[in-house]
């Protein structure tokens, strides 16, 4: 850290483990987070507690030890809950009544990467202001902390953490899934044990693939970023559907019985219609990001459901859900949030809700997904030297105006800066795929010339 570059990104702190995400950084980060997140909970003499979980990648063991040491050095008792999904850590932080939670995972990133995500009491993601405060504390962290009885304890592996989470999942979905045959690709990640158990406990016949993590194979040609694996398995086994998770299992993508992909937008459409049928879609509103397909907006309009849109990132979806008191939101990538049952995206819960809708309607996944027509969407990532200048360019603004005039109400244009790379993303949707590609290419060329 140099005081100029923000340590926290759109979803916690990420980097190449042991290179720019080191054990010493994790130790200081754990100590600073403990100082900030437990400061208000020490006045009654009670020792603060923290929950720490991780995905199976090899560097997670090292980082978990460092984080635990950092938090214990500031007088926080640490309960390590082992390999478990991100949403489970959020749930357990609340369920155990802990003051904070930490998940060590780089989600869908390759194995050499890792990340650290914090949750406050109640299992809620941190707002920018709190992350900034943690960074500021790191810069001025005293070398020493409490001594003697003031030092926190580190408890290795809770005996009932996974069972608590599985019970929570079972209680959230009461429908019997008997008769549904599902293939689940666990990405050799955090859901490798939990997801197959949860689906089987609900009554489904489960065929699990890529559920044997060895610390090195997480996301390796499997999971939601390599959905061809579950597509092939569904067809091979004659399953009713397939579900693909990412490394930390906060997202879920699906495929129907013919192997066709059902993405996060389609899943949201299915669940929104289901909640409306049950009069549980609060304010008759679904929350999605600006990257969601135009087809979702058209489908919701046809179904009489309002669509609120946010910036890209599940944290912004969460903020809008909380601010508006809404009951369903998510992202095209498969992060689906149901606030009644969780404070963050939960891939396993999404899979259960999706199968529950199939069971209660007697419809196939393909029939349910037909509520939404996915319009062709073209995304081009354009390397740029100064992201801030792109939308200030008159040439870019003129090109956007021309594209929007050409598409009319049958398409959409979206240009936005990448949050983590020196890239500008050009996205075009149109009724015709070739038209979308042509217009996107034209816009990308204008952006590249700035």
Active site residues: 107
Find out whether 314 and 345 touch, Cβ atoms under 8 Å. Answer: yes
Q: What separation in angstroms does the CA of 358 have from each of 178, 241, 245, 355, 405?
A: 11, 10, 19, 5, 40
Q: Could you give the CA distance from residue 302 to residue 138 in angstroms, rounded to a whole number?
A: 51
- Pure H helices in 85-222: 86-95, 128-139, 161-172, 194-201
DSSP one-letter code for 282: G
Going by C-alpha positions, the residue among 338, 294, 295, 330 that lies closest to residue 313 is: 330
170 Cβ contact list (under 8 Å, min separation 6): 198, 201, 202
Residue 333, annotated ligand binder? no
Q: What's the half-sphere exposure (Cβ side, CA atoms, 13 Å) at 387?
A: 15
Going by C-alpha positions, the residue among 7, 202, 35, 198 that lies closest to residue 116 is: 7
Residue 107, annotated ligand binder? yes
338-356 b/e (C-beta count within 10 Å ≥ 16 → b):
bbebbbbbbbbbbbbbbbb
Residue 220, annotated ligand binder? no
Q: Which two tokens stand for residue 114?
A: 């890792």
3-class state of residue 239 by DSSP: coil
Going by C-alpha positions, the residue among 159, 192, 186 that lies closest to residue 81 is: 159
- Specify burial of residue 410 (Cβ count, 10 A radius: 0-12, 13-18, 19+): middle
Q: Could you give the CA distance from residue 19 to residue 294 in angstroms, rounded to a whole number?
A: 40
In terms of residues, how long is the chain? 450
Residue 132, annotated ligand binder? no
Per the DSSP assignment, residues forming a β-bridge with 182 are 206, 241
Q: Could you give the CA distance from residue 189 to residue 252 in angstroms, rounded to a whole number?
A: 13
- Torsions phi, psi for 9 (to 5 deg): -100, -155
Per the DSSP assignment, residues forming a β-bridge with 184 are 208, 243
Binding-site residue ranges for Mg(2+):
107, 246, 248, 250
Q: Which residues contribute to the annotated binding site?
A: 107, 246, 248, 250
């Amino acid at each position: 850290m140099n005081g100029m570059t923000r340590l926290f990104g759109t979803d916690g702190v990420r980097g190449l483990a042991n290179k720019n995400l080191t054990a010493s950084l994790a130790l200081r980060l754990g100590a600073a987070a403990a100082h900030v997140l437990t400061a208000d909970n020490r006045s009654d003499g009670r020792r603060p507690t923290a929950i720490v979980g991780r995905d199976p990648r090899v560097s997670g063991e090292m980082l978990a030890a460092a984080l635990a040491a950092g938090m214990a050095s500031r007088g926080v008792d640490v309960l390590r809950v082992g390999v478990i999904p991100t949403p489970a850590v959020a749930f357990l932080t609340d369920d155990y009544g802990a003051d904070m939670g930490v998940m060590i995972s780089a989600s869908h990133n390759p194995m050499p990467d890792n990340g650290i995500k914090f949750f406050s009491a109640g299992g809620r993601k941190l707002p920018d202001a709190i992350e900034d405060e943690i960074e500021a504390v790191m810069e001025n962290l005293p070398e020493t902390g409490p001594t003697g009885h003031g030092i926190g304890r580190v408890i290795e592996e809770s005996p009932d953490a996974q069972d608590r989470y599985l019970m929570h999942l079972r209680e959230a979905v009461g429908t019997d899934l008997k008769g549904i045959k599902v293939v689940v690709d666990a990405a050799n990640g955090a859901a490798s044990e939990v997801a197959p158990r949860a689906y089987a406990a609900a009554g489904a016949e489960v065929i699990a693939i890529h559920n044997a993590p060895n610390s090195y194979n997480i996301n390796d040609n499997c999971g939601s970023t390599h959905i061809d694996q579950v597509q092939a398995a569904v067809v091979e086994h004659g399953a009713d559907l397939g579900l693909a998770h990412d490394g930390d299992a906060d997202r879920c993508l699906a495929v129907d019985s013919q192997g066709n992909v059902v993405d996060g937008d389609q899943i949201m459409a299915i669940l929104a219609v289901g909640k409306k049928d049950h009069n549980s879609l609060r304010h008759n509103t679904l929350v999605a990001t600006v990257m969601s397909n135009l087809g979702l907006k058209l489908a919701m309009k046809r179904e009489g459901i309002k669509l609120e849109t946010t910036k890209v990132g599940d944290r912004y979806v969460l903020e809008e859900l909380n601010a508006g008191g809404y009951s369903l939101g998510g992202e095209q990538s498969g992060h689906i949030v149901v606030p009644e049952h969780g404070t963050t995206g939960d891939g396993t819960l999404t899979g259960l809700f999706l199968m529950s809708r199939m069971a209660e309607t007697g419809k196939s996944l393909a029939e349910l997904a037909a509520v939404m027509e996915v319009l062709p969407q073209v995304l081009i990532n354009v390397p740029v030297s100064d992201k801030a200048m792109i939308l200030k360019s008159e040439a870019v603004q003129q090109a956007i105006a021309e594209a929007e005039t050409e598409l009319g109400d049958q398409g959409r244009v979206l240009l936005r800066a990448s949050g983590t790379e020196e890239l500008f993303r050009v996205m075009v949707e149109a009724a015709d795929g070739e038209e979308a590609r042509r217009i996107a290419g034209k816009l990308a060329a204008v952006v590249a010339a700035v």
